[in-house]
Amino acid sequence: MKRIIYASAQDTETAFYEAIEKSDLEAMMSVWSDDDDIVCVHPGGARFTGMAQVRESWRKIFSSNQHLHFRLQQPQSISGTAIAVHSVYEEITIIGEKKTLTPVIATNIYLRTEHGWRMVLHHASPAPAAPESDTKRPKTLH
């Protein structure tokens, strides 16, 4: 398998969500670092570490035959020359269903390696409620 070299953490993140939407396990694993210290936590799930566990977790998700669509909101990022941390709200829908799932807050961490930017951590947790834009949120003083 030829590994894609991602030029930026954002390119890696885009490929990550495209792989989920396509239920493409090989594309999914191409975004991850080859390091056994990688970590993945799905909403409400256990912590998976290392390539074998992370791969198996995504294989199980993709075998459900539910095709997911993601809309990312309120991205926040911190970047350095070799590391990037992204935090997003994920609005997830199952293709063919009108209702969106419980919103998720995800943290994605990327490292710049000799093979381009790679994911080393994806941690997703159910959000308490859909995010509001700071401009729509009323300002109150206490």
Q: State the Cα–Cα distance between residues 45 and 104, nearest whole angstrom.
A: 13
Q: pLDDT (tens digit, 9 = 90+) per residue, 64-115?
A: 888 888 989 999 999 999 999 999 999 988 888 877 788 999 999 999 999 8
Cβ proximity of 89 and 107 under 8 Å: no
Mean pLDDT of 38-62: 96
Q: Does 134 have pLDDT greater than 80?
A: no
pLDDT at 142: 45
- Answer whether 0.75 is exceeded by the pTM: yes
CA 35 to chain centre: 18
Class of domain 9-126: alpha beta
Residue 48 in this model has a pLDDT that exceeds 70 = yes
The domain locations on the chain are: 9-126
Give the mean pLDDT of the chain. 89
3 pLDDT above the threshold of 90: no
Question: What tokens appear for 87 in the block?
Answer: 């935090």
Using CB atoms within 10 A of its CB, is residue 2 exposed (0-12), middle (13-18) or buried (19+)?
A: exposed
Percentage of the chain lying above the pLDDT 90 cut: 69
Strand (E) or helix (H) holding 10 = helix 9-22
Distance from C-alpha of 19 to C-alpha of 77, rounded to nearest angstrom = 21
List Cβ neighbours of 134 (8 Å cut-off, separation of 6 or more).
none
Report pLDDT for 133: 55
